[in-house]
Structure 1
Amino acid sequence: MALPDPLPAPESAPAASINRPLYGIAARLFSAIFLTAMFACVKLASARGVHVLESVFYRQLMGVLLMVPVALAGPGLAALKTQRPWTHASRMVVGMVAMTLNFLSFALLPIAEATAIGFMVPVVATLLSIFLLRESVGVHRWGAIAIGLTGVLVVIQPGDGHIPPTGALVAMCGVAMTAWVSILIRKLGATESPVTTMFWFSVSSMVPLGIAMLFVGQAHDAQTWGIIALMGLFGAAAQLGITWSLRLAPVSVVLPMDYSSLIWAALIGWLIWQNWPVPATWIGAPLIIGSGLYIAWRENRLARLRKG
């Protein structure tokens, strides 16, 4: 599943991290639950007439309200200064497109299937790194990429009508854009802290989103506003859980917990929409998850070898 703000590469975890793996795993599990709940709210809001750009605006607004106290409680506002405003600007543009596509995919697809396709982000990021970062990818990771793509085809089942073609296309475009964001964050991570990157993304995105709201913003009934508020709260809680999990344990320990999102998505889909994933989803998702985990393990191993 695509995260609210994709994370830096494993080797860029904070140096001040505390080694409490069980607490880190718990924080990551809760973030997966909150993230799934956020996407469920996006789907509910869309069904009630909320434009996808409205959902993105309110999600980012909550991010702005979150990042200021996080910065004050952590490194301080002085640490938010940057010498790379144009890189942050390009990250914002790509990130906004990615988030909009991801939100739209959950509005168009069953929640479990959209979640499973979203697991392709690390696989596609590896593919993009070949072209954008000129990284060398060996036979192991090429094999993982092929397995992940096979898993997507199993989930989508082209031609059988289970998943709308438009929704599948939007989801895969969202995956590609989110993977591109992860590449940009990896570049920014050479000089910028994760807090700085997330802060400038949240703040700068309010400019184009504020303009968009002049055209798509609308009044809603109390129940719809409640769903929108929950969406923002769940998104903020997920972002906090992700941040804290990385302070408590290494990425290689907590990252596998993200895949529990499929369980929560299946349960929420059944409880709210009476929609249980078809067997093909349970067959294809492990292929996607396995390829992503293998790539994460392989990159972590290679990073350690490079460090000696």
Structure 2
Amino acid sequence: MSPMRGIALKLASVFLFTIMASLIKASSSEVPAGQAVFFRSFFAMPVIVLWLTLRGDLSTGFKAKRPLMHVWRGLVGVTAMGCNFAALGLLPLPEVTVLGYAAPMLTVILAALMLGERLRLFRMSAVLLGLAGVTIALWPRLSPDAWNHAAMMGLIFIGVSTVMRALAQIQIRRMVSSEETSAIVFYFSLTATLFSLLTVPFGWTWPGWAVVWMLVAAGVIGGVAQIFLTSSYRFAGAAVLAPFEYASILFAVFFGYAVFDEVPTASVLIGAAIIVLAGVLIIWRERQLGLKRGQARSNMTPQG
């Protein structure tokens, strides 16, 4: 184990995922979310195949012991990704990032309902604290003065994305007992590509070359970020790495301001601080309880 190397890879993956999200947001006025999902997934596959080849894991990457589990993970994950990309076109980048932090809170609840994990007072209190942070971040959007159709649709999209991400986390935790990490990574990109093609009848466009190259770059960068994320868990445990997921708010605030002239509100920043605190408490408690979630986390992207 080399914790510093693992942390460096984790931070690099978070940074690259934020760049990818910025590229998707920049192209959102030109292409629909389903088309963006296609580019993100299709152009990540060559990067992932090259990585598997260099690791000598290509054969295991193609081997799906339980194909239907990969199909279900792909369907849930692509829904989460598509809704996340749709939200990026309607809400500021920092706000989408902060609201996405609710996924681990929902995962704790779903793990109790679907996997039979015991939900004790400490973790339940942390979940409620996190949801309070989400409420604070959302509060200005809920006032009548701030009501507008685009913002409300954005909140609906990020809400669906967050629920789907939590379901994807539960599905991956079921899969890691029988499926190789390489297969989970490869088949998610493959199934996401195929499922995204189902959105062609709903309005794909012919964007200019500048937008095309942004989307291609988003796919390649997303693939590299996924590799860095997965590799980070080879050098450090989940309890060490998980808190660094929250560095994404710093990157999101930077890119939101520098690229899109977005300044996060005080409520978003306060809500983010509370959510991060709740998330760290949940991670600490899971470590105390000895819950093994590292493999599942290593296969999750911020989009699903």
Higher mean C-alpha displacement, 119-128 vs 63-72: 63-72
Q: In structure 2, what is the Cα distance between the partners aligned to 1:247 and 1:162?
A: 46
Which residue of the partner structure matches residue 248 of structure 2? Answer: 261
1:246 aligns with 2:233: yes
* 1:59 matches 2:33: no
In structure 1, what is the equivalent of residue 146 of structure 2? 161
Distance 2:175 2:291 in 1: 21
**Conservation of the 8 A alpha-carbon contact between 1:156 and 1:162:** no
Identity of aligned residues (%): 28
The C-alpha deviation readout for 1:245-294, integer Å capped at 9, x for no partner, is 11221121122111111111111111122211011111110111111111
Gaps of 5+ in 1: 1-18
Residues of 2 paired with 1:175 and 1:125: CA distance? Answer: 10
Q: How many residues align?
A: 286
For residues 30-51 of structure 1, give each alpha carbon's deviation from its aligned partner in whole angstroms, at most 9, with x where no partner exists: 111111111111111012x111
Q: Indicate the residue corresponding to 2:87 in structure 1.
A: 105
Q: Distance in 2 between matches of 1:215 and 1:177?
A: 21
Partner of 1:132: 114
| 2:73 paired with 1:91 | yes
User: Does residue 291 in structure 1 map to residue 278 in structure 2?
Assistant: yes
Among candidates 221, 245, 265, match of residue 234 of structure 1: 221
Partner of 1:7: none
1:109-154 deviation per Cα after TM superposition (whole angstroms, max 9, x unaligned): 1100110011111111001112111211000011011011100110
Seen in structure 2, the aligned counterparts of structure 1 residues 239 and 147 have a Cα distance that, compared at 3 Å, is same
The alignment status of 1:76 with 2:57, answered yes or no, reads: yes
Asked if residue 177 in structure 1 is aligned to residue 164 in structure 2, the reply is yes
Once the two structures are TM-superposed, the CA of residue 21 in structure 1 deviates from its matched residue by 1.2
Contact 2:48/2:223, CA 8 A, preserved across alignment: no
CA distance in 2, matches of 1:228, 1:290: 34
Of residues 170, 175, 186, the one that matches 1:199 is 186
Query: 2:92 & 2:250 partners in 1: Cα distance?
Result: 13
What secondary structure does 2:89 align onto? helix
Q: Does the residue aligned with 1:108 lie in a helix, a strand or coil?
A: coil
- Whether 1:272 aligns to 2:272 is no
Change (3 A) 1:287 1:154: same
1:36 counterpart (18, 27, 36): 18
Contact (CA 8 Å) 1:53, 1:216: kept in 2 or not?
no
The answer to whether 1:208 aligns with 2:195 is yes
Per mean C-alpha deviation after superposition, the further-off stretch among 133-142 and 204-213 is 204-213
Partners of 2:133 and 2:271 within 8 A in 1: yes
Distance 1:126 1:109 in 2: 26
Q: What is the SS of the residue equivalent to 2:213?
A: helix
Q: Is the 8 A contact 2:41 2:189 kept in 1?
A: yes
Unaligned runs of 5+ in 2: 293-304
> Residues 95 and 268 of structure 2 are in contact (CA less than 8 Å); yes or no, is this contact kept in structure 1?
yes
Q: Give me the TM-score of the superposition, normalised by structure 1.
A: 0.88
Tell which deviates more after alignment, 140-149 or 239-248.
239-248
The whole-number CA distance in structure 2 between the counterparts of 1:150 and 1:284 is 8
After superposition, the CA RMSD in angstroms is 1.8
Q: Which moved more, 1:198-207 or 1:93-102?
A: 198-207
Q: Is the CA contact 1:152–1:285 (under 8 Å) kept in the aligned structure 2?
A: yes
1:266 and 1:184 mapped to 2: Cα distance? 31
User: How far is the alpha carbon of 1:304 from its aligned partner?
Assistant: 6.6
Structure-1 separation of matches of 2:255 and 2:242: 22
CA distance 1:83–1:304, shift in 2 (3 Å): closer
Code of the aligned partner of 1:56: V
Q: Partners of 1:72 and 1:60 in 2: how far apart?
A: 18
Distance 1:211 1:143 in 2: 41
The C-alpha deviation readout for 1:86-128, integer Å capped at 9, x for no partner, is: 1111111111111111111111111001100111111110011
Deviation per CA, 1:12-58, whole angstroms, max 9, x where unpaired? xxxxxxx11112111111111111111111111012x1111111001
